[in-house]
Chains A and B, each alone.
Chain A
Amino acid sequence: EDQVTQSPEALRLQEGESSSLNCSYTVSGLRGLFWYRQDPGKGPEFLFTLYSAGEEKEKERLKATLTKKESFLHITAPKPEDSATYLCAVPQGAQKLVFGQGTRLTINP
């Protein structure tokens, strides 16, 4: 069964303190890995899609990378507004997405 595991469950950082979130997956024939950001009381907001090992994508202070077994979301010099839950997901079949449980990130000023 396809599985997606995110770690840590929660992470508290000081403003400016860089770190990484992990998303490991067990799926045959990976056809992409998605990262979403979810703010309290809102729906998940799309960040990135990665399709092949070695691929990297960046958006502001975020950079997502992909290997054959896991993906990392690197956060460089985060600000309080980066506080959110970050979700990763992998396709299962043609269209279904299997989501991880998420990492709840808090950036303290």
Chain B
Amino acid sequence: DAGVIQSPRHEVTEMGQEVTLRCKLISGHNSLFWYRQTMMRGLELLIYFNNNVPIDDSGMPEDRFSAKMPNASFSTLKIQPSEPRDSAVYFCASIFFLAGEGDTQYFGPGTRLTVL
């Protein structure tokens, strides 16, 4: 079975440019999580969705960050404009969530973003 798919795997851009990261959920999963990982702050949750609806975006650092789920299997994380401090590895993870139950999150391979 295909796991969580992320693209691109690596992105190098210049400050001020728009960056779009993409994620495809595991087939049958209905919840998606976007994380950012840095040496200083570790793995931080940015936002998560249930059934395409954003549930908690309290981890989104600024208005420059936005995330969408245009359909049940796909999500994008956009940074506009990008800044050097946005450089990090961005992961998405998915689960099949039933109300009232927690479950194991399965992570994608990540996108390493470098903003010059």
CB contacts (< 8 Å) of B55 on chain A: these are 95
| Interface-side segment among B69-77, B79-87, B103-111 | B103-111
CB contacts (< 8 Å) of A45 on chain B: these are 107
**Nearest B residue (CB) for A34:** B104
Question: Given A94-B100, A95-B55, A95-B95, are A44 and B42 also a contact pair (CB < 8 Å)?
Answer: no
Most interface-central of B93, B99, B105, B106 (chain A CB within 10 A)? B105
A10-64 with Cβ < 8 A to chain B: 31-32, 34, 36, 41-46, 49
Question: From residue A105, how far is it (CB to closest CB) to chain B in Å?
Answer: 16
A79-105 with Cβ < 8 A to chain B: 87, 91, 93-97, 99-102
A95 and B42 contact, CB distance less than 8 A? no
Contact of B42 among A46, A94, A100 (CB under 8 A): A100
Chain A interfacial residues counted at CB < 8 A? 22
Q: Is the interface of B mostly helix, strand, loop or mixed?
A: strand
A93, B102: Cα distance in complex, Å: 9
A43 and B91 contact, CB distance less than 8 A? yes
A91 and B42 contact, CB distance less than 8 A? no
Question: Given A31-B102, A91-B102, A94-B100, are A44 and B95 also a contact pair (CB < 8 Å)?
Answer: no
A95 and B102 contact, CB distance less than 8 A? yes
**Nearest A residue (CB) for B39:** A101
By size class, the interface of chain B is 20 to 34
CB contacts (< 8 Å) of A100 on chain B: these are 42
Question: Given A43-B91, A44-B43, A99-B43, are A94 and B107 also a contact pair (CB < 8 Å)?
Answer: no
Residue B60 lies at the interface, judged by CB distance under 8 Å to chain A: no
A96 and B48 contact, CB distance less than 8 A? yes
* Residue contacts A-B, CB under 8 angstroms, 23 given: A31-B102, A32-B102, A36-B107, A42-B110, A43-B91, A43-B93, A43-B108, A43-B110, A44-B43, A44-B91, A46-B104, A46-B105, A87-B43, A91-B102, A94-B100, A95-B31, A95-B33, A95-B48, A95-B55, A95-B97, A96-B48, A97-B45, A99-B42
